[in-house]
């Protein structure tokens, strides 16, 4: 079975900055030391029935002031087929945004951009400067369509943030020449064990809140699935719960496939962060591909979500 992993990160701490990986900077994860190492192409080891046919490198903070350097570095040092999503600052002035875009366009692996939205999603997606830069990105994508796939705007925000999702709807409907890729399944809230319901009022309130958040996530999956130019990547489970279980994954992926359809869904790893929960890159993919929802798919459907869709959207 061929894998084209549409969401992973490679680190070379001797050449890049990676400020977020340093102990003094957020995120302040207790287990951050697990990923404070070099992770290169040769760490993407798959064997047995699995083989890596390509990947999409998502910016990892190599140099956010000159993001084209990260693409150039990996283009020299990687031999496998790969595409790149570059860092960009959506708050840059018009002229600076144009300058960065022009430099990114010179890199052969460039396919799109990411500015991590997360908790700032609402303020960013309603900022006049940000919207002006997205408009510029949309125009560029339209100009390139005769020879290239649309530019991809990687969207990283929690789908339980209702106001931010409303702002995202406005952006998607206003700029149809871009492809919007939802990162990490929109961060579905984890299920809470029902046995804690009767422990105390605090636990009950916590569960009610979690249930509401999960309902909001489901509603937003349904609403964003209606757009022809929105795709979704199923990964990042460890960012929600380091000890996630197969039942939760199975339910999340099932719901996403039911609503987005098989041709707009991609399985991904978020390597090396997946190592917070799985022992190896191989173990992660085996865990994912052994889920009941995946086993129930036809061979063509399995190929679509594990490789073909990524090939279509991220490679010219």
Q: Write phi, then psi, for 93 (nearest 5 degrees).
A: -65, 165
pLDDT in tens, 63-89: 999 999 999 999 999 999 999 999 999
Reported as type and span, the H/E element at residue 176 is: none
Q: Write phi, then psi, for 105 (nearest 5 degrees).
A: -65, -20
Give the integer Cα–Cα distance in Å for 237 and 255. 15
pLDDT of residue 192: 45
pTM value? 0.93
Give the integer Cα–Cα distance in Å for 16 and 284. 26
Q: Which of 15, 114, 117, 112 has its CA nearest to residue 69?
A: 15
Q: Write phi, then psi, for 294 (nearest 5 degrees).
A: -75, -40
pLDDT in tens, 251-310: 999 999 999 999 999 999 999 999 999 999 999 999 999 999 999 999 999 999 999 999
User: How many Å separate Cα 315 from the centre of its chain?
Assistant: 16
pLDDT in tens, 254-268: 999 999 999 999 999
């Amino acid at each position: 079975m061929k894998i084209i992993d549409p969401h992973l990160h490679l680190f070379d701490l001797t050449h890049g900055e990676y400020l977020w990986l340093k102990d003094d900077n957020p995120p302040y994860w207790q287990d951050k030391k697990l990923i404070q190492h070099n992770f290169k192409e040769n760490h993407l080891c798959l064997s047995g029935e699995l083989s890596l046919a390509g990947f999409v490198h998502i910016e990892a903070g190599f140099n956010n002031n000159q993001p084209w350097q990260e693409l150039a570095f990996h283009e020299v040092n990687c031999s496998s087929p790969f595409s790149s999503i570059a860092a960009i600052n959506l708050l840059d002035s018009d002229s600076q945004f144009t300058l960065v875009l022009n430099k990114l366009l010179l890199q052969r692996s460039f396919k799109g951009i990411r500015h991590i939205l997360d908790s700032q999603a609402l303020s960013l997606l309603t900022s006049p400067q940000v919207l002006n830069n997205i408009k510029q990105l949309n125009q560029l994508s339209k100009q390139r369509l005769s020879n290239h796939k649309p530019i991809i705007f990687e969207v990283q925000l929690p789908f339980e943030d209702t106001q931010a999702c409303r702002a995202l709807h406005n952006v998607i409907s206003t700029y149809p020449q871009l492809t919007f890729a939802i990162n990490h399944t929109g961060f579905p809230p984890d299920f809470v064990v029902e046995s804690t319901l009767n422990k105390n009022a605090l636990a009950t309130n916590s569960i009610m809140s979690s249930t509401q958040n999960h309902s909001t996530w489901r509603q937003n999956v349904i609403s964003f699935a209606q757009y022809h130019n929105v795709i979704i990547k199923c990964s990042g489970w460890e960012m929600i719960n380091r000890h996630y279980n197969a039942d939760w994954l199975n339910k999340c992926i099932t719901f996403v496939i039911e609503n987005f359809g098989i041709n707009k869904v991609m399985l991904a790893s978020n390597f090396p962060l997946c190592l917070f929960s799985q022992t190896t890159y191989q173990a992660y993919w085996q865990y994912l591909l052994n889920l009941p929802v995946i086993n129930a798919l036809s061979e063509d459907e399995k190929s679509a979500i594990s490789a073909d869709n990524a090939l279509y959207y991220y490679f010219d």
